[in-house]
Every structure is written in structure tokens, then in C-alpha cells.
Amino acid sequence: MVPGMQALFGFQLIAVFSSAFGEQLSSMERMLHLIAIVLVTIAIALVMTPAALHNQTEPLAVSSRFIRISSRLLMASMAPLALGLCLDIYLVARVIVGTRGVAATVAASLLGVFIVLWLLLPRVSRTRSKP
């Protein structure tokens, strides 16, 4: 998961140096890209925190406390990652399609996919697996 997030982060940074970035996006849209970069950075920090925590506090054991904290950190990373991705998808769709309405629809649809797959599906699965 971390390499994929790092690759995404790299592409986000490279986009700023493209001539199309300044020419085709408004200042508000460029600010949205900055917000997306910050959100993905927060997600990366949350995903990497369990490794740092484990190495510094319990390097030779895996406790239930560590698993609980790690699970919470990973779950917390999903919201900023989803929002950051949706903002960047909006910007890519805006450049490709040219209209804000279509770009917003694409981004909102993607956010809906994240909500279904990352929130609703696990909850449905959890309730069905209970006796």
C-alpha cells in the first residue's frame, strides 16, 4: 500500500511543473491540488505510523494494543486518501473534459465508490458474518 501511495504522491508533485497545470487550471483549482497533496501526505503518515510505533515501542512483540492502534490508524488514513484522490480526479477530468460539471460528477461518483467499498461493504460483511 505504501509504495502505491508514494507513487501517487510523486505524480502529484510532478504535475505542478507541467505547463498545462498553470495554463488550464484556475488559481482555485491549483489550490485544490495543493489540498489533495496535503491529504495524501496525511494518509501516508497515518499508514506509516504503525511501523514507527512498532519499531520504537514493541519491536519484539505484537500486542492486542498495537493491533488496535494500527487498525485505527489505517482506517483513519482512508478518508484523507479518498478525498485527495477524488480532488485530483476532479482536476484530471476537468483538464480532459473541460467542464467543471462533468469533472465534479466523475469525482463525486468515485467518492461514492470509495464509500461503498471502504465503508458499506465491510459493515454489511461484518453483520452477515455474525451468528
pLDDT, average across residues 89-94: 93
Tens of pLDDT, residues 19-41? 777 788 889 999 999 999 999 99
CA atoms within 13 A on the CB side of 116: 6
pTM beyond 0.75: the answer is yes
What does the mean pLDDT of the chain come to?
A: 89
Q: From residue 122, give the alpha-carbon distance in Å to each of 2, 48, 129.
A: 22, 23, 10
- 7-11, 90-94, 95-99, 117-121: range with lowest mean pLDDT: 7-11
